[in-house]
Amino acid sequence: MLFFPFPIFALVVGGCNAFVHDGDSPVFTPDQADVAAEKANAGTASASGPGASIFNQKCAVCHQMSGKGIPAVYPSLAGSSIATGEPAVPIRIVLHGFQGPIVRGSQKFNGVMQPWQEVLSDQEIADVLTHVRTSWGNTAPAIDASTVAKIRAETKGKVGGFTESELQNVK
């Protein structure tokens, strides 16, 4: 049987309590680069509207307000050839999610992006992708809800997130 003298027991239990009850909740302080990027984008149409609102609520936690992502964790959308390329690719990713390894520049990523098909309407997906495609220096054309609806119907049987190899030949 293990026996702890009372002073040691009290110290261990008291020390654990310091981790459990730490007072005030943490306060989020945005990265200064994110704040500067938001101020720089404030005068553009893409910095406001329904797409920006959806992005801020659903996407910025991973991809950041600056669209730069988190190195080695979440890829950047700023300057992304996937986000600004063939519209069918980012639509598929937003609808069904993404999984597996990818390399962007010199950064390696191996994660999972959740699917949004059950959460966002066709119009909301079009709006958020249009926001991504026209923000942070991106200059790709807008996406409309009818294109999202068409791809949603084409991929309705898809189970699990897309992988990079599944998206390579999408047109």
pLDDT in tens, 124-155: 999 999 999 999 999 999 999 999 999 999 99
Domain-embedded: residue 138: yes
Domain-embedded: residue 96: yes
Task: Give the model's pLDDT for residue 78.
Answer: 95
Domain-embedded: residue 3: no
Domain-embedded: residue 146: yes
Cβ(116)–Cβ(109) below 8 Å? no
Domain-embedded: residue 20: no
Q: For 3-22, b where at least 16 C-beta lie within 10 A, e where not — what string? A: eeeeeeeeeeeeeeeeeeee
DSSP code string of 76-93: --TT-HHHHS-THHHHHH
What percentage of the chain carries pLDDT values higher than 90? Answer: 58
3 Ramachandran zone, left/alpha/beta (phi>0; psi -120 to 50): beta
- Count of domains in the chain? 1
Domain-embedded: residue 43: yes
pTM of this prediction exceeds 0.75: no
Domain-embedded: residue 61: yes
Domain with residue 116: its CATH number is 1.10.760.10
CA torsion sign for 21, 22, 23, 26 is negative
Domain-embedded: residue 161: yes
What's the domain range around 74? 32-165
